[in-house]
């Protein structure tokens, strides 16, 4: 059971404040080449088999995917290797899970 003093630690946010931004899409979490935060809306959540995950816009997803395919082709081996954990995957697409927002 909570007392009135227990609820004092929580920030009060009005219902109107929450729903006023409900229609807005979250922003891409990838930094740009200049180091600033990408200003595009996120189109998907990408999970790189537990090594990393985040929200990405279509532009950043396509850039990552093209680069990953090019690296796999340059290595002349089938599949993909994770740069974080060294895990080997049958294909670039097998190395991640993409969920549209």
The pTM assigned to this predicted structure is 0.72
User: Is the CB of residue 45 less than 8 Å from the CB of residue 99?
Assistant: yes
Phi, psi of 86 (to 5 degrees): 80, 5
Output the six-digit token pair for 94.
Answer: 């097998």
pLDDT tens column, 27-70: 999 998 898 999 999 999 999 999 999 999 999 999 999 999 99
Output the six-digit token pair for 86.
Answer: 């060294």
pLDDT tens column, 73-91: 888 877 888 988 999 999 9
Report domain extents, the chain.
Answer: 26-100
Beta-bridge mates of residue 100: 44
Output the six-digit token pair for 54.
Answer: 């985040």
Whole-angstrom distance between the N-terminal and C-terminal Cα of the chain?
Answer: 37
């Amino acid at each position: 059971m909570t007392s009135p003093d227990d609820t004092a630690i929580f920030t009060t946010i009005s219902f109107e404040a929450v729903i006023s931004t409900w229609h807005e899409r979250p922003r891409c979490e990838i930094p740009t080449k200049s180091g600033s935060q990408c200003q595009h809306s996120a189109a998907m959540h990408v999970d790189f088999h537990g090594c990393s995950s985040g929200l990405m816009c279509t532009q950043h997803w396509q850039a990552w995917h093209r680069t990953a395919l090019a690296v796999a082709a340059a290595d002349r081996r089938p599949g993909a290797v994770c740069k974080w954990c060294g895990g080997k995957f049958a294909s670039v697409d097998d190395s991640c899970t993409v969920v549209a927002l």
